[in-house]
Amino acid sequence: MLFYFNKVRYPTFSFYCLALTCSMTKKERYRFVIDYFQKHIPEAETELLYDTPYQLLVAVILSAQCTDKRVNLTTPAIFKKFPNVHSLSKTNFDELFPYIKSISYPNNKTKHLIGMAQKVVKDFNGEIPMTVDELIQLPGVGRKTANVITSVVDNQPNMAVDTHVFRVSKRLGLVSSSANTPFAVEKELIKNIPEEMIHKAHHWLILHGRYTCLARNPKCDECGLKAICNYYKKLPK
């Protein structure tokens, strides 16, 4: 089989991979990955179910160390009982806890949700703030959550780095080997991905990590990015 990159013809897949990854600039690597995702996951978006910024914030706080699927089973009852930040701010631990008890870390998350709602009502006039600096003042909201909210709701060029984004970025060689913290990975991705695509790239990397580039057994055989993947290049063939 023949492969082409930069108008160069490569005769076999393994040789192609080697030649391609060695000759690629960082810009070309990003271009390759973005082109692939644009073609294969054109409509990337969060898998959390929500209708309003308030609902998304509740869902993202609940999703820490928990699957989106589990969160989506839980949130409809919460949104029905507490349809907005005002109703959530008036509840108490014993009333909210039963709705959350099937999710990981239910004690902390119950406290965080009530604290978040009370602070939004008190300090932000009942409106979910839409800057990272404001959001991280809310209980249960760290930088990752704030980046998710601002990028999903407002398409701001912020990159939330979760375990999937971290792993996939490293394996694909999108970030340097010295980028060993979520913040370091975030900075490198932000620097190299075109600004208008950053909010979408977040979902591309998450979905690829969730369904193809799995942590323990990545599905490299069916992955369209193996031609440029540093991890794949090192696998015994």
Contacting positions for ligand SF4 (CB under 6 A)? 171-172, 212-213, 218-220, 223, 225-226, 229, 231-232
Closer to ligand SF4 by Cβ: residue 78 or 172 = 172
Closer to ligand SF4 by Cβ: residue 146 or 207 = 207
Q: Is 221 among the residues known to form the active site?
A: no
Catalytic residue, chosen from 109, 144, 200, 226, is 144
Q: Cβ 189 to ligand SF4, closest distance in Å?
A: 15
Q: Cβ 146 to ligand SF4, closest distance in Å?
A: 27
Q: Is 35 among the residues known to form the active site?
A: no
For residue 9, how many other CB atoms are within 10 A of its CB? Answer: 9
Closer to ligand SF4 by Cβ: residue 85 or 168 = 168
Closer to ligand SF4 by Cβ: residue 101 or 219 = 219
Q: Cβ 72 to ligand SF4, closest distance in Å?
A: 25
Q: Cβ 224 to ligand SF4, closest distance in Å?
A: 8
- Encoded amino acid at 82, one letter: F
Catalytic residue, chosen from 109, 162, 226, 233, is 162
Structural contact between residues 169 and 209, judged by C-beta atoms closer than 8 angstroms: no
Active-site annotation, residues: 144, 162
